[in-house]
Chain A
């Protein structure tokens, strides 16, 4: 499955996720699993977008609140978030999302560059936009999402 996404130059499979009413896409080759974050431990003094850490089958996973990371409104509906598991440099991360959608195969050719007026915090981590029927899908660059050094949550 991983190989499919990688080898086919023109078609990439995305896991779509919902955040604050907006659809985002994560390359499936980077997604390890989708799980319900259970028993999240807050980390005092941590950057605000780090929601905490949790134990996922004996591994300590750092949970990143994707809403805050992308500069979206904080989650208020009280519903438990879902998490997308990502592996980066031997460490495990969980991106907290509102809900997970379907897996979509999209051609690279139809991907468009970020609109110039896109919110800076979004533009920083976005790898382009796909126009779907009735809505837009923002593609996320996982490496940039997790590159916290780029982050400057107080800037905007």
Chain B
């Protein structure tokens, strides 16, 4: 009985989910007999099984619903109210099933209310379907007309029950009164249909069977064991060269691999399983909110691990509810906005790399940026000033902040205090990400990116201090071999190891030191696993790197789960257990909040001047602290003073096959004559310059707010408070020309560039601060713009500029688009524009030329910029 009941529960629950979906479809296509047949058959099957198992409540309910649907089949008009009624019947059935599952028996209580409504509806339908029927009951019906289906009068109820004795009132007698002939015929139809249905079910059942998840898990473990045994055998055969086992073992090996793959496949399920409930949810919401909503679903067959599937079910439902409730407008609003009255929610899923991408998009009114701003300020998530500086995309991200709900009014649908932060948490837990894009008036779109499976990941096997570890391949960007005599070598800034990688300094961490294993020495040789977590990039130094392997992730023992560095453990092919490194934990441990900039960060930087910046703090000349943004420093060197040569009034040193000029911070600074001389090396376009300093103090991370802007002291941008100490922020740009002695050009320029108006467009606060004084010094009247939009606004407002200097990589409208926009406007079409870019590949230069840039100058190439400016303005003068 137990097994039978369990089987029944599983099957019925599944059938009911299908009924939900089908009914909603049916409501939209009331003439689709196929759908109706489908629904009818399912309900009929439920009814039949209930009778067999002796579940009278369920049977009665299913029977009443079936009767009503029978009417539909007979041609009764399908109304929203009728479908709602059937759906609520199904809800009741589910409720009873829930009790049944818990208590092994049907709960007490009765369902006369629903059954009466169903019968009433069926009767009404019968009258409608056959209006020319006898008088007696017609009067009876007419009297009831004003009542809504949900408001059946007590009299009517009493009557219905008096007329139909027994605990399971069949509705047949009532319609029989109205239409004496049809019922028997209909019965037959029904039975036929049911028979057909039975056959069809049989066919489906033959193609798939239900397997207990535990059985699958066990199977998986056994396969892992098999793999281990196979590997042991392979190891033995390897030692005996000409073994006759070789060929059969090879075969065993292949079969095992296929078996493993097959078993893993059984864990995969189509994402449609998580979507099944959504059409019903949306339909109910639409009714409740008085909206018209169409739910489109694409890619329901996309498969993912069932464990992941379970975890995203709820967040998905929540987000769809949100879209329906907050995203879409009411029909009137939509009409006013010139949109079709029916709003659309589009769900789509597809595979991309090792991830599955799920998108939830609606064509509603989009996120209300102003309201989000107000709310963010009210909730203390950001200051008013910060919010004003933020881009729309940044403001939109606030919806994921804890306790944030955009709904101004709390509805019964959503806004129950469960916000997007919960959704985001759930997604975070499975190593996924969520992002939002929204355009006011056009709609919002959420993109969720989650790994296909949590159970099997591709991992890089590395070794540190004699132990092996697995690093998930997904977060590994590249591998770099570090050797003390090669180009890639581990350098250090005080105690912090760093690696110069393509003109960036990459923070490094020695795995064995981090894990406090064995000796804490930090050898200069090793492999660097360049790892990316979110927007942070760092290098993990390991002793050796083996290979990548598909590993089966096993959770850490509860006794070890507190160790943030590990996300789990796994059994390798050779049978040994190794730890899986959690890159998030490592990122936190080394506090790497900076590093390579992602799009997001660049965006963030443009908006909040107070963003954290890594700075290299040093002393040179005076005892005051000086600092320069770490990202500008190419490398740190300590050179033997004997190698410093003095020629032509300048200090030079042989460096990497070139003569590199050394520059002092100011007059008071000295270049040492014995011992070693620490240098900050700045490189630009193949040229390097060494800034001699007395001592490198530290690398700190702090907000860079230049408080006192200096214009009088050359080489100093101003002062800022760095880690609580007043620090001079050094202007690297000042020293580059000093090193290369082409500042005569500058002087020359100063004379004829007399107060030309220059517009400097750069999203980076730092570059604006750095370049503006330089350009001013070169004789230009400088106006700064924080982005292309800002610049265009100024131009459109009629501000006149003689030359524009613009960054290329900017959030929102980029430099190319900006240049094109400037060129399109007649008033500004002839203003020369100079592009500033960190990357200047031939392709970008060409693209720049097409967009209308006069010149392409690398950032930090100050002489180049000054020369380009001079040329452009001369050109322009001549042309004018």
Chain B residue with minimal CB distance to A148? B559
Determine if B577 and A54 form an interchain contact, defined as CB atoms under 8 angstroms apart: yes
The 8 A CB mask of A1-15 against B (1 = contact, 0 = none) is 000000000000000
B550 at the interface (CB under 8 A from A): no
Determine if A39 and B576 form an interchain contact, defined as CB atoms under 8 angstroms apart: yes
Determine if B515 and A62 form an interchain contact, defined as CB atoms under 8 angstroms apart: no
| Other-chain contact of B560, A46, A55, A57, A59 (Cβ < 8 Å) | A46
Q: Which residues from B are CB-within-8-Å of A93? A: 557
Given contacts A44-B516, A44-B579, contact A53 B557 (CB under 8 A): yes
Determine if B554 and A47 form an interchain contact, defined as CB atoms under 8 angstroms apart: no
Determine if A58 and B221 form an interchain contact, defined as CB atoms under 8 angstroms apart: yes
The 8 A CB mask of B552-581 against A (1 = contact, 0 = none) is 001001111001011001010001111100
Determine if A57 and B467 form an interchain contact, defined as CB atoms under 8 angstroms apart: no
Given contacts A46-B563, A58-B228, A62-B557, contact A41 B576 (CB under 8 A): yes
Closest CB of chain B to A115's CB: distance in Å? Answer: 29
Q: A58–B221 Cα gap in the complex (Å)?
A: 6
Chain B residue with minimal CB distance to A91? B557
The residue among A46, A57, A64, A148 with the most chain B CB atoms within 10 A of its own CB is A46
Q: Which residues from B are CB-within-8-Å of A59? A: 221
The residue among A39, A50, A60 with the most chain B CB atoms within 10 A of its own CB is A60
Q: A146–B559 Cα gap in the complex (Å)?
A: 9
Determine if B560 and A44 form an interchain contact, defined as CB atoms under 8 angstroms apart: no
The residue among A41, A54, A91 with the most chain B CB atoms within 10 A of its own CB is A41
Closest CB of chain A to B576's CB: distance in Å? Answer: 5
B224 at the interface (CB under 8 A from A): yes
Chain B residue with minimal CB distance to A42? B467
Determine if B560 and A62 form an interchain contact, defined as CB atoms under 8 angstroms apart: yes
Q: Which residues from A are CB-within-8-Å of B221? A: 58-59
A132 at the interface (CB under 8 A from B): no
B440 at the interface (CB under 8 A from A): no
| Other-chain contact of B571, A47, A50, A58, A91 (Cβ < 8 Å) | A58
Given contacts A41-B577, A44-B517, A53-B577, contact A58 B224 (CB under 8 A): yes
Q: Which residues from A are CB-within-8-Å of B560? A: 43, 46, 50, 53, 62
Determine if B569 and A60 form an interchain contact, defined as CB atoms under 8 angstroms apart: yes
Determine if A41 and B558 form an interchain contact, defined as CB atoms under 8 angstroms apart: no
The 8 A CB mask of A82-94 against B (1 = contact, 0 = none) is 0000000101010
A155 at the interface (CB under 8 A from B): no
A156 at the interface (CB under 8 A from B): no
Determine if B579 and A41 form an interchain contact, defined as CB atoms under 8 angstroms apart: yes
Q: Which residues from A are CB-within-8-Å of B228? A: 55, 58
Determine if B225 and A58 form an interchain contact, defined as CB atoms under 8 angstroms apart: yes
Determine if A43 and B554 form an interchain contact, defined as CB atoms under 8 angstroms apart: no
Determine if B578 and A41 form an interchain contact, defined as CB atoms under 8 angstroms apart: yes
Chain A residue with minimal CB distance to B221? A58
Closest CB of chain B to A48's CB: distance in Å? Answer: 12
Determine if A45 and B516 form an interchain contact, defined as CB atoms under 8 angstroms apart: yes
The 8 A CB mask of A23-49 against B (1 = contact, 0 = none) is 000000000000000010111111100
| Other-chain contact of B569, A47, A53, A91 (Cβ < 8 Å) | A53
Residues facing A in B449-481 (CB within 8 A) are 467
Chain A residue with minimal CB distance to B575? A55
Q: A154–B222 Cα gap in the complex (Å)?
A: 41
Q: A43–B578 Cα gap in the complex (Å)?
A: 9
Closest CB of chain B to A112's CB: distance in Å? Answer: 31
- B side interface size, CB within 8 A: 24
Q: A51–B289 Cα gap in the complex (Å)?
A: 60
| Other-chain contact of A43, B563, B571, B575 (Cβ < 8 Å) | B563
Closest CB of chain B to A70's CB: distance in Å? Answer: 16
Chain B residue with minimal CB distance to A90? B558
Interface residues of B: mostly helix, strand, loop or mixed?
mixed
Residues facing A in B222-245 (CB within 8 A) are 222, 224-225, 228
Chain A residue with minimal CB distance to B579? A43
Determine if A89 and B558 form an interchain contact, defined as CB atoms under 8 angstroms apart: yes
Closest CB of chain A to B442's CB: distance in Å? Answer: 50
Size bin of chain A's contact surface: 20 to 34
Q: Which residues from B are CB-within-8-Å of A91? A: 557-558
Given contacts A53-B569, A58-B224, contact A44 B559 (CB under 8 A): no
Q: Which residues from A are CB-within-8-Å of B576? A: 39, 41, 55
Closest CB of chain A to B779's CB: distance in Å? Answer: 60
Q: Which residues from B are CB-within-8-Å of A47? A: 559
Determine if B571 and A60 form an interchain contact, defined as CB atoms under 8 angstroms apart: yes
Determine if A44 and B515 form an interchain contact, defined as CB atoms under 8 angstroms apart: yes
Q: A57–B563 Cα gap in the complex (Å)?
A: 25
Q: A64–B576 Cα gap in the complex (Å)?
A: 18
Chain A residue with minimal CB distance to B468? A41
Determine if B558 and A45 form an interchain contact, defined as CB atoms under 8 angstroms apart: no
Q: Which residues from A are CB-within-8-Å of B224? A: 58
Q: Which residues from A are CB-within-8-Å of B563? A: 43-46
Q: Which residues from A are CB-within-8-Å of B225? A: 57-58
Chain A residue with minimal CB distance to B565? A45
Closest CB of chain A to B347's CB: distance in Å? Answer: 36
Closest CB of chain A to B227's CB: distance in Å? Answer: 10
Chain B residue with minimal CB distance to A62? B557
Q: A50–B578 Cα gap in the complex (Å)?
A: 15
Q: A55–B467 Cα gap in the complex (Å)?
A: 16
Residues facing B in A82-110 (CB within 8 A) are 89, 91, 93
Determine if A55 and B571 form an interchain contact, defined as CB atoms under 8 angstroms apart: yes
Q: A146–B228 Cα gap in the complex (Å)?
A: 29
Chain B residue with minimal CB distance to A44? B515
Q: Which residues from B are CB-within-8-Å of A53? A: 557, 560, 569, 577
| Other-chain contact of A39, B222, B517, B559, B575 (Cβ < 8 Å) | B575
Closest CB of chain A to B260's CB: distance in Å? Answer: 13
Q: Which residues from A are CB-within-8-Å of B569? A: 41, 53, 60
Residues facing A in B516-572 (CB within 8 A) are 516-517, 554, 557-560, 563, 565-566, 569, 571
Closest CB of chain B to A100's CB: distance in Å? Answer: 23
Q: A53–B577 Cα gap in the complex (Å)?
A: 7
The 8 A CB mask of A112-156 against B (1 = contact, 0 = none) is 000000000000000000000000000000000010100000000
Closest CB of chain B to A93's CB: distance in Å? Answer: 8
Determine if B558 and A44 form an interchain contact, defined as CB atoms under 8 angstroms apart: no
Closest CB of chain A to B536's CB: distance in Å? Answer: 21
Chain B residue with minimal CB distance to A46? B560
Chain B residue with minimal CB distance to A149? B559
Q: Which residues from B are CB-within-8-Å of A42? A: 467, 517
Q: Which residues from B are CB-within-8-Å of A146? A: 559
Cross-chain pairs A/B with CB under 8 angstroms, 7 sampled: A41-B579, A50-B560, A53-B569, A58-B222, A60-B557, A60-B571, A91-B558
Q: Which residues of B contact A (CB under 8 A)?
A: 221-222, 224-225, 228, 467, 515-517, 554, 557-560, 563, 565-566, 569, 571, 575-579
Inter-chain pairs besides A91-B557, A148-B559, 14 sampled, C-beta below 8 Å: A39-B576, A41-B569, A43-B566, A43-B579, A44-B565, A45-B516, A46-B560, A53-B577, A55-B575, A57-B225, A58-B224, A58-B228, A91-B558, A146-B559
Interchain residue pairs A-B with the least CB separation, the first 4? A44-B515, A62-B557, A58-B225, A41-B577
